[in-house]
Chains A and B, each alone.
Chain A
């Protein structure tokens, strides 16, 4: 039995496996299938100040080894979350509140609202599926620095994770911008913008036309980007992108991540996040690794 605990921004997680935002709701549905307190934490569905209805359907499509989604940040709003779900979720595991805004002021306001209430705030500046906000802030280093600074000013006591988009010119430059803006941690990758076509109708499958690509097929690109980010900054990294097994998670840890998020795999296998957490323990035992945290950043290049 390896020591599976990891410390992220001074907060201890019982293991490094966290279901990724948007794939796990606020955890209640999956808790009917297994006890989610066995996970390191839960990254909530992306929250906004006011409730959002999101995009029309279809919101999901599938391709080889990947899916595309364009939900468009449907959520009940931060107040609803605080009133109905937060206490329950906190009683289970670490809470990573994923937040998005349409303006800098909204990012500031939602961070201020969650300050001190959650274990982490994860800043979604990379949602590819909404017109205003999201991606607008997540592409250029200057705007990443600015939105991070505004967020951090409004949640000085809550560890701030900035979630980076992969649809950018330079991961190292954007990671450094988040660090300069005052981020406590970086998570990546969000989804890659993609297009899936219904060739019979000569139309995109998704109503939104494009959507975010996730799933096993993106993993090598995500691992490379996590490695680049880890080299570029001193901040801890939460790695994600196509993790479907414990071995995949080990790759991300070796590339420099302190913890990992599991997204699309939850759809393929409802128990995926738990199976990966347990499998990681087994992997450590088999490889005589006494603490999972020892794996972080141990990749040696050829």
Chain B
């Protein structure tokens, strides 16, 4: 984990309310798929936790949705050349076992972005099947990154692109044929709950969780989630990736 003053290389709109931010860290920082960073935004006391999409040497790309003042300032004020304070890499990330040869990724909304890192990591060596959900045509982005696997099913809530319905529905229609050995998922809670009830317990399913964070490094105990054994886990440090049966959604 390091705190770096990065230089913005590109910060562009890639879909409705969605931006792609690439910055140079000044040094190569190894980032595992599913890890995230905390980005400082001038004028805001809290950093923004954002999943890493791509890590190529010292260049890191993250994608974020406009949610409030912080992300709007990030989109509006950080042009190429600007300095950016970033804390990374954070969290555990995804880890697919050697024997798990068939990987399904199921994402929805902003949850597709950490899964792009997983696709980039595992598509070259696994049979990878992607089910990616968006609100509508205007919110679809980074399709070329999602196509790196064996199969991509794009899903939209309104059917304007691809499958009409959620990525979980699309995945469950395919599960018998695809026979995944592991599932990696990220998205809104209702989506993850649907996935848990449909596939949890049948095969290993790893979910990446989102929570409002304070420090991002495991010290402040702000971003906890409930574990099924009654304990609390820190999303930033013990997660953000958990086995779906291990956490309450």
Binding site for B on A (CB under 8 A): 22-25, 28-30, 32-33, 45, 53-54, 57-62, 65-67, 69, 71, 74-75, 215-216, 264, 266-271
Contacts and interface: CB of A to CB of B under 8 A. Distances in A.
B158 interface: no
B220 A71 contact: yes
A57 B45 contact: no
Contacts of B45: 62, 65-67, 215-216, 264, 267-268
B215 interface: yes
Contacts of A215: 45
Interface residues of B, number: 29
Given A33-B1, A60-B212, A60-B214, A25 B220 contact: yes
A29 B212 contact: no
A60 B44 CA distance: 14
Given A60-B222, A267-B220, A270-B3, 16 more contacts: A22-B220, A25-B218, A25-B221, A29-B218, A45-B219, A53-B232, A54-B221, A59-B212, A60-B214, A67-B45, A69-B214, A71-B221, A74-B232, A215-B45, A216-B45, A267-B45
A32 B3 contact: no
Contacts of A62: 44-46, 70
B85 interface: yes
Q: Which 3 A-B pairs have the closest CB atoms?
A: A25-B219, A29-B217, A29-B219
A264 B224 CA distance: 18
Interface string B197-231: 00000000000000111111111111111000001
Contacts, number: 97
Interface of B: 1-3, 40, 44-47, 70, 85, 87, 211-225, 231-232, 237
Contact of A74 (B211, B212, B218, B221): B221
A48 B224 CA distance: 19
Contact of A67 (B3, B46, B225): B46
Contacts of A268: 40, 44-47
B44 A23 contact: no
Given A33-B3, A54-B232, A268-B45, A23 B224 contact: no
Contacts of A270: 3, 87, 215, 217
A267 B217 CA distance: 9
